[in-house]
Amino acid sequence: MQRHLNIMKGKRPVLSVFFVLLILTFSLITASAEENEKEVYIGGFPFGVKIETQGVIVSDIREIDSNVGKVCPAKDAGFKPGDIITSVSDKKVNSAGEVADIIANSKGKILKVQVERGDKKLSLNLVPVLTSDKKSYKTGLYIKDSAAGIGTVTFVLEDKRTFGGLGHGISDRNTQRVLPLKTGSVHPVIINNVIKGSNTVPGELKGSLDAQPNGTLLKNTEMGVFGTFNKNLENLEKIKVGNKNEVKEGKCTIYTCLDKTTRSKIEGEIVSIVDKNSKTKNFIISLTDKETLKKTGGIVQGMSGSPITQNGKLVGAVTHVCVNL
C-alpha cells in the first residue's frame, strides 16, 4: 500500500533482483552442502518466499514538492539508500507503516531517527515538510519492510526438509544489498506460464504462490536463501556434490521447472571459468537446449537457484545474468 511516506512495502519482490538473460553467471554450491553432505537431493522445482525485514529499509531518497519548492529532507538529514531505520523519536519501529504514521502526524517537528549503516549506528535529525498541496507531511524517504516472489530450489539435505535455493540473496533493487531477515515463510508455487525473453527484455516465469506456507525461511545470504520445509519431500533424487576444482568448460545440465511443478533437464554449456574462489560468481554458461530456447529465449526470471550438474555431480546454481550484446 502506498502511504504518505512513499512506502515500497511488498513492491519489490524476489524477482526484482534478477536481471536480463542469455549469458549467465553461476555460483558453486554453498559450503554448507559441500562440507556437511557428500550427497544431497537435487532441486530444480519452484518455491515461493515471503519475508519481513529486520528494521525498515531505506530503498531510495527523492525530492518532493513542498510548500517552499522542491526539497529533500531525507538527504538533508544525511540518509542514504540501504540505511536501516530502527527507531523514530525513541519509539522502536518494525514496519514501514509505523514510520509513515509518525511522519504524517509530526506536524513538521524534528524527528530523531536511529539508523544502522553497515556496522555503524547513527542518529539523524529528520524534519518533515508540508507538501505543496498542504495536505500531508513528507520527507523524501522511500522505505520497505517486506518482499515476496518465486525462485528455484537448488538442493535438499539428507533430512529431506532442509534446503538451499535462489542462488543469491533477496536484495533491495535500488541498493543491491541483501535484506536483513526478520521472519520468512516458504510457499508452494505452480508455474502457469512462461513469458519469452529477448536480448533486451527479460523473460519471466509466471506462477501462483499459495497463501498457505509449507516451510520457514531461516537465512538470507549473498549465496542464496536457506530454510526448511514442514514435511519431508518425496520422490527426490540423490546426487554427489562436486568439488570446485572438478568444474570444467563443456557440457552441463540445468534442472528447472517451466510448467506447473514438473522438473525439466535442460542442456547447457559451461563457457568459461571466471573465479573459482568467488563466493557468488564462478563460471559462465550458455543455454544450448533448442526446444527450451524456442519457449523461453534463454534463462528467465524465476529460474535463479536452478541447479547445474556436470559429469553426474552438482556443481552450481543459476545466480545472475549478463546481457549478450
Residues annotated as part of the active site: 168, 289, 304
Residue at grid coordinates 557428500: 38
| d(C-alpha 295, C-alpha 314), whole Å | 25
Beta strands 238-241; 313-323: pairing state: parallel
Q: Which residues contact 286 (CB under 8 A, 6 or more apart)?
A: 22, 23, 24, 268, 269, 271
Distance between CA atoms of residues 317 and 153, nearest Å: 9
Using alpha carbons, select from 80, 62, 59, 52 the residue that is nearest to residue 16: 59
Taking the C-alpha atoms of residue 120 and residue 84, their distance in angstroms, rounded to an integer, is 11
Radius of gyration of the chain (CA): 22
What is the Cα–Cα distance from 253 to 310, expressed in whole angstroms?
6
Give the containing element (helix H, strand E) for 240: strand 238-241
Nearest CA to 209 out of 299, 147, 296, 298 is that of 147
C-alpha torsion angle, residues 59, 61, 65, 67 (rounded to 10): 110
